Amino acid sequence: MRDAKMDKARSLYYGMFSRLFTLSAEYKRYYELITLVETLKANPLDALSAEAFEGLHMKLPSKSNVALMHEFDTLFYAPKTKTIRTTASYYNNGVENGKKRLEMQNFLAKTKIRRDEDKFSDYEDHIGFIFTVMAELSELTASGEKAYQNTAYCIFEEVLNDFVDLFAKELYEHPQADIFKDVAVILKAFIEFERIYLDVSIPTVKPFVAEAAVEEEISQEERERRERNRALRALGPKKEDSCDLFVASNAEEEI
């Protein structure tokens, strides 16, 4: 049984990550990001993400996005520093325009969502675009359009799940990460939640642990998480269709 409120909350998380990883100079999107951070930090998923939300909120001044844009450029686009790769294809087989991009294109072809190339020039398997798509699909599901449940499931299971741990690890360990170090901790907690909710297994890659040193706190969190898991597994959707059986909508919407 699906919970519309849960899907709405998931869409807020995906929307926050979309605004963090598809950075725009438009202040409107930055204001939306701050609003989402303020909303989500009121009910964090665990103790580590609660602390990270507090840090993230403090590091995002309400009247300027300069600090965020500077760190974004340093981590992802600066030619003189180690930059973090952002496409699923790169983590899958070492090329930017590879198998996972094609998979995303195929999934999008079965929905009304299309990439607006004027607004988003990166590939369809760019992590920011994946988060944007997942935000839209979660919102549609929360609004009662149940046909999108399977597509969202498949994108998470077959594209995002395979590389997001390694991406978060590189983000957290980057020597110039500050704002995005907190983002990595929140992302880790949310992905763990999604795996439980969608009943998707951790990939073979060793999972990312944000704070290995705080063993006692993590152990306590694990005990609390296991209690939540029982309830979440009862709510989480079971995969009823294979990932190539989704029935398309004829209408198209660019994002």
Task: Tell me the domains of the chain and their CATH numbers.
Answer: 4-238 (1.10.3480.10)
Integer Cα distance of 233 and 226 in angstroms: 10
Per-residue DSSP letter, 160: I
**In this predicted structure, what is the pLDDT of residue 251?**
44
- CB count, 10 Å around CB of 246? 20
Tell me the pTM: 0.82
pLDDT tens column, 170-206: 999 999 999 999 999 999 999 999 999 999 999 875 4
3-state SS class at 122: coil
Residues of the chain scoring pLDDT < 70: 1-2, 116-118, 205-242, 244-255
Integer Cα distance of 237 and 211 in angstroms: 30
**In this predicted structure, what is the pLDDT of residue 207?**
47
Burial of 172 (0-12, 13-18, 19+ CB in 10 A): buried
